[in-house]
Structure 1
Amino acid sequence: MLPILVDADVPADGVEQSFVRALGTGPATIDWRGVWPDAPELGLLADSKYEGVQAVFNTNDVDWERPAGDQTVFVHMTKFGSLPRAQWLAGQVGASVLGSPMVGW
């Protein structure tokens, strides 16, 4: 349970299962940074600095402060967040937004 931060670029295939097995019950995260597509019909443009997906393990907040026995996936967009973009992204895969917006990266 030491506070260890590892920042490494690794191939997208295969590392996730090994990471979760090694993790045990400690809090951790896997982040995928990228750029969401523009949604011109909503007046939304991509913002590469703050966009991506974050899976957190054994906690349910982005800062790892609340222990939990499950995992949570956060979708990050722009510095100030954008509920319309989150709803649009979720709709692209036939899903919906769960929970309320919160400050992330």
Structure 2
Amino acid sequence: MSNDIAYPVFHGPDPALALSIARRLMELGRCEYTNVSLYAELRSVDEVRRRAKELPEGWFRGQEQYGEFDDRVPFEDRPAWLVGVQGPDLPTDPSAYEGRLPVDYELLNQAVDSVEGAFTSAIGPSVGEINWQDLCWPDAPEVGFRGECKHAEVTLLLNTSTRQYDGPAGYHTVLVHVRSVDVDGRQRREPYAHWLAGQVGLAVIGPGQPG
């Protein structure tokens, strides 16, 4: 079992520019099976409605209250939109959202270049991410690394700077992922992340973020 670690290679306030840079990095490892997934935390009813209009095929899930459901309540008996519904099935009554925010949004395993632009345009103040997975990074013999596919990913964090969504930020962050190899507290494959970033004119600009 192995894990990934992601290194920031760009920060900036313009979401369209951040998307363009993330795509440039993604193209370095793009292959036949590459796909993209979207995630967001929608913190107001207006944000939920905007996302439902722009990308209704995504799945929306409201927050359960602590102790509201336990193992005795079958999954299928829970309110549908707390389990997950697509845009057309969201509640229309604003009172249904009381105590249910933030609403989680996800749209998984989509074709590359099919949803990223619409998602970035609609993100507004929401915290979220675009994640390109199933990439294959090339060999880097000049720095002593073979290519890898298992942990080859690119992430664009929107309105936050960490993978844990630790609070909003006034900028967006692009991350390049490689396999984590921690030896005595030192990441042995960090030079590979530097090399990958350099292939598209970028540079690692901060510490790695574990998965």
TM-score band, normalised by shorter chain:
0.7 to 0.9
Task: Give me the whole-angstrom Cα distance separating, in 2, the residues matched to 1:94 and 1:39.
Answer: 16
Alignment of 1:23 with 2:123, yes or no, is: yes
The normalised TM-score by structure 1 is 0.83
Shift of 1:35: 1.2
Q: CA RMSD in A?
A: 1.8
Residue pairs, 1:80-99, within 5 angstroms: 80=181, 82-99=189-206
After superposing the two structures, state which structure 1 stretch, 66-75 or 35-44, moved more.
Answer: 35-44
Task: Give me the whole-angstrom Cα distance separating, in 2, the residues matched to 1:57 and 1:95.
Answer: 19
Amino acid at match of 1:17: G
Q: What does the per-residue CA deviation read over 1:17-75, in whole Å, with 9 as the maximum and x for residues that have no partner?
A: 21112222111111112011011222212221111110010111012122112110000
Task: Give me the whole-angstrom Cα distance separating, in 2, the residues matched to 1:72 and 1:38.
Answer: 25
Alignment of 1:67 with 2:174, yes or no, is: no
After superposing the two structures, state which structure 1 stretch, 69-78 or 40-49, moved more.
Answer: 40-49
| Structure with the largest fraction of helix | 2
Q: Where do 5+ consecutive residues of structure 1 fail to align?
A: none
Task: Give me the whole-angstrom Cα distance separating, in 1, the residues matched to 2:113 and 2:209.
Answer: 29
Amino acid at match of 1:40: P
Report percent identity of matched pairs.
Answer: 37
Task: Give me the whole-angstrom Cα distance separating, in 2, the residues matched to 1:95 and 1:14.
Answer: 25
The aligned residue for residue 39 of structure 1 is 140
Specify the SS of the correspondent of 1:13. Answer: coil
Task: Give me the whole-angstrom Cα distance separating, in 2, the residues matched to 1:94 and 1:18.
Answer: 26
| Structure with the largest fraction of strand | 2
Q: How many residues align?
A: 103
Amino acid at match of 1:39: A
The normalised TM-score by structure 2 is 0.45
Moved over 4 A (4+): none
